[in-house]
């Protein structure tokens, strides 16, 4: 159940096309539904926060992922699972044949992304290097799934800053930016000094030994002298997307 389906259902009740009892039956799973003794699906989340629950796959058995995705699909016609592997996807596809596996960001999706309510509003997703693309694509796909337009700008790190400056108009017209960078993580601070919108910085685990699996860029981003930066966890493209999505939603619906 999401806001669009709830609004449609209430309209049907108002017009007399749906009885109150039938409407109650359709929303009876609110606010959560227990599933198989291993999960409690938050079916109310899309109405409450504007973004539906996404299944986090690491640590779950393939059959658990499949059961959760299947039930979410039955409830809303759509589902997303993050950080999935091929074995988990195979299990999902057995019960939901229409499921799609997006290999670079390791995402499983069922159904279509939500159409943006305002296609002029967008989040620009930047990566410092091509190696940071899995994190950038996780953020991009999650944003698009939730109904936020995305403009991708990959491999524009500080080692060749002219690649970034060639797209200054794209950056300055965005409602928010997501910047994924490994190595020393300098790109986020550089970008934040060029734009007026919020910047969500994502340190990635890409880099040589002294990058410490993402801690070096994390510390750089936390200590940036540029203002307007929020920093999420290492490799957390999903969290960055959730944050940027809320920025756009609130800017369009204050």
Query: 230 in helix, strand or coil?
Result: strand
Q: Is the pTM of this model over 0.95?
A: no
Q: Find the radius of gyration of the CA atoms of the chain.
A: 20
pLDDT tens, position by position, 42-53: 666 666 666 677
> How many Cα atoms sit within 13 Å of 117 on the Cβ side?
11
Q: Contact at 8 Å (CB) between 41 and 32?
A: yes
pLDDT bin (cut points 50, 70, 90) of residue 55 is confident
Query: 224 in helix, strand or coil?
Result: coil
Name all domains of the chain by residue range, CATH numbers in brackets.
3-110 (no CATH), 122-252 (3.40.50.1970)
Q: What is the pLDDT of residue 46?
A: 65
pLDDT tens, position by position, 132-183: 999 999 999 999 998 899 999 999 998 899 999 999 999 999 999 999 999 9
pLDDT tens, position by position, 220-233: 999 998 888 999 99
Could you give the CA distance from residue 57 to residue 115 in angstroms, rounded to a whole number? 26
Q: What is the pLDDT of residue 147?
A: 87
Burial label, 95 (beta-carbon count in 10 A; 0-12, 13-18, 19+): middle
Q: What is the pLDDT of residue 175?
A: 93
């Amino acid at each position: 159940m999401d806001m669009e389906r709830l609004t449609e259902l209430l309209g049907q009740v108002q017009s007399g096309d749906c009885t109150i009892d039938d409407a109650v039956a359709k929303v009876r799973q609110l606010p959560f539904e227990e599933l198989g003794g291993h999960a409690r699906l938050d079916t109310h989340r899309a109405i409450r926060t504007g973004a539906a629950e996404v299944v986090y796959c690491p640590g779950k058995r393939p059959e658990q992922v499949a059961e959760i995705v299947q039930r979410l699909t039955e409830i809303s016609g759509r589902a997303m699972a993050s950080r999935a592997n091929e074995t988990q996807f195979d299990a999902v596809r057995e019960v939901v044949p229409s499921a799609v596996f997006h290999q670079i960001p390791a995402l499983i999706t069922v159904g279509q992304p939500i159409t943006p309510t305002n296609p002029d509003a967008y989040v620009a997703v930047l990566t410092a290097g091509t190696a940071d693309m899995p994190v950038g694509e996780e953020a991009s796909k999650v944003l698009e799934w939730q109904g936020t337009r995305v403009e991708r700008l990959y491999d524009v790190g500080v080692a060749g800053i002219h690649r970034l400056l060639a797209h200054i108009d794209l950056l300055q017209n965005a409602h928010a930016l997501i910047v994924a960078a490994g190595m020393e993580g300098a790109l986020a601070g550089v970008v934040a000094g060029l734009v007026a919108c919020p910047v969500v910085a994502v340190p990635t685990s890409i880099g040589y030994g002294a990058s410490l699996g993402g801690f070096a860029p994390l510390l750089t981003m936390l200590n940036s002298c540029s203002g307007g930066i929020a920093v999420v966890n290492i490799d957390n493209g999903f969290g960055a997307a959730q944050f940027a999505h809320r920025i756009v939603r609130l800017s369009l619906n204050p």
